[in-house]
A and B are shown apart, each in its own frame.
Chain A
Amino acid sequence: MALQTHSQETEKETAAIIDVHEHQEGPLLPILHDVQERFGYVPGNALLQIADRLNLSRAEVHGAMSFYHDFRKEPAGRHVLKVCRAEACQSMGGEKLADDIQRGLGIRWHETTPDGKVTLEPVYCLGLCSCAPAAMMDGNLYGRLDDDAVLKLVEEVK
């Protein structure tokens, strides 16, 4: 992987995020969430900066970050589509829906479409088990889905 450029701007913004959380108990996850919210991923140099400020080793921060499915080392597509693969959605045809979405977008789980538009992620339960199958795109929720509805969602966004 190419070295990421860590501009002064990124460094300043990361520092500001750390400033907000540094004095909390167990600040690492809130910091990682905010950094990812800001940049769309956790840049390698931000990770170093966090480790330095929290007086942790780089391995500790990397270890924590890589444990959780949410945190990314590289940017996602412009939109992130999370499709539920858990049991309640399975009972309503979720597996077929997931296959069709992958075919429709031409990508597999965790991949991004070549135009950089959509990243497809599996999710194990959105708590929408009473209106399955369900998905979430960029924080917006969709229930009682069928193939057409999901692919239409993807068509509608830029």
Chain B
Amino acid sequence: MGAVLYVPCDAAALAVGADRVAETLAEELHSRNVDAQIVRNGSRGMHWLEPLVEVETEQGRIAYGPVKPSDVAGLLDAGLLDGGDHTLCHGLTGEMPYLKRQTRLTFSRCGITDPLSLEHYEKHHGFLGLKRALEMTPAQIVQDVTDSGLRGRGGAGFPTGIKWNTVLKTPGEQKYIVCNADEGDSGTFSDRMILEGDPFVLIEGMTIAGIATGATKGYIYTRSEYPHAVAIMRDAIKIARDAGILGSSVMGSAHAFDMEVRVGAGAYICGEETSLLNSLEGKRGVVRAKPPLPAIEGLFGCPTVVNNVMSLASVPIIMDRGPRFYRDYGVGHSHGTIPIQLTGNIRNSGLFETAFGLTLNELIYDIGGGTLSGRPVKAVQVGGPLGAYFPPSLFDTIFDYEAFTARKGMIGHAGIVVFDDTTDMLRQARFAMEFCAIESCGKCTPCRIGSVRGVEVLDRIAKGDQPEQQVELLTDLCDTMKMGSLCALGGFVPYPVMSSVTHFPQDFHVKPLTDAAE
């Protein structure tokens, strides 16, 4: 049998030329008359090394990267097919420190398999969770998910099992599983990596959720900015349907479950669950007041589970290995693993799945290798555009829901964006308000008007127009937005703004505030 080579089809790899590398590789192999197969896998998550080419050897897979099309001929000359040495060679992929330090549960297959190969999926423990779930009662499945300690990975951290239990207990002829794949936070891409790199795990997780709650229909709501993810996910659903995994009889059982992908249209707010439901129904993506909870009155007024991709993709391994196995990872009330995304101005950018509990220091310096620019870190923003900016003095914070809340921050979708010392925090605060103004759904006044006023106030500070008074005004405005907004957009945008003012007063031309964020 010929050699097997891997070139990722993940969007991050494509953005830096993976398709051209794969094409060049195919041409070179053809012209050299070599019998070899190129598998388009997901990404391993070491994005600073993309395109990362791997070759299968007797010892295991060997990694080369970042590979440019112009490197291909030289790599083949150096014996790429046998894992030959080269300046781009990193040795055995599994032994690379960045991967070795991780605990890959949700991402156990991502980057290893061909995303659309059912055979690969099953060979790597695929569908074991679903098979076990099919032998259990819905209440037992819900109990296992509850016992695992899994909390919503979209940002809110609500216990997944409790949500499922509400849907299970609420009577309804039709129930839905809605997967929130509207991953709009800057600094995050873990959902996208699963959609593109291991779509069957999401299909398996959603099917288990359906069986557990009595829902027969699932929707994956994702973004128009993710065209590759949409295409792969749609193909995967068709493959699963043709294989009898989805449909009127899930794997030959009495359960019915099917799903489809729906694409948003460029509105950040649709990542908020009630706005997402309105969008799925074909309406303006305006936030709904809660209650009623979506679990009781969700999509088309029916009981609906709305879970993030990461939450649903973590379910198969919980069902396969049991709740204790999952629960034993983590710290405090944050159980299991969290796929942390290291992004922005950082050397080792990518995805790092680990048990809760590492400090920001470890993540940014030991694992991330510090800034890419080589300059000192000024701040990191954790949790997307609504997350707080932390200065290096807070880098001893551990990655855990409660530890971040205690320091007026949030984990959100676990994205970390690193900024170096050239960053002007006033501009970042202004951007947060500007973004909120652009993306506000307009339903509640604090968010709709407050964000516009916020931009104006920050512009006056930038001009040096009575900065002390303006900061007081800004603090008051942020308080109003925090307390009076209907959802997390208006309610959380004060976090990046006030954390900037609190931790970087010099950028706002004012003296340090005393606990101004409250």
Contact = CB atoms under 8 A, between A and B. Distances in A.
A100 to B, nearest CB: 17
A46 interface: no
A127 B419 contact: no
A28 interface: yes
A92 B345 contact: yes
Contact of B185 (A92, A125, A126, A144): A125
B130 to A, nearest CB: 25
Contacts of B228: 141
Interface in B354-374: 372
How many interface residues does chain B have, given as a range?
35 or more
Interface string A41-74: 0000000000000100000000110011111000
Contacts of A77: none
Given A29-B262, A29-B265, A127-B225, A86 B15 contact: no
Contacts of B225: 82, 123, 125-127, 136
A118 B417 CA distance: 30
Contact of A125 (B16, B186, B372): B186
B183 interface: yes
A131 interface: yes
Interface string B169-208: 0000000000000011111110010000000000000000
Contacts of B97: none
Contacts, number: 151
B15 A26 contact: no
Contact of A68 (B267, B300, B349, B350): B267
A88 interface: yes
B433 interface: no
Contact of A130 (B279, B284, B286, B350): B350
A58 to B, nearest CB: 15
A32 interface: yes
Contacts of B286: 67
A29 B270 CA distance: 13
B227 interface: yes
Given A89-B186, A124-B186, 10 more contacts: A29-B263, A67-B441, A87-B428, A90-B431, A129-B415, A130-B48, A131-B12, A132-B343, A134-B15, A141-B14
Interface of B: 11-12, 14-16, 47-48, 50, 183-189, 192, 223-228, 262-268, 279-286, 300, 341-345, 349-351, 372, 381, 385, 415, 417-420, 423, 427-428, 431, 435, 438-439, 441
Interface of A: 25-30, 32-33, 54, 63-64, 67-71, 82, 86-92, 95, 123-132, 134, 136, 139, 141-144
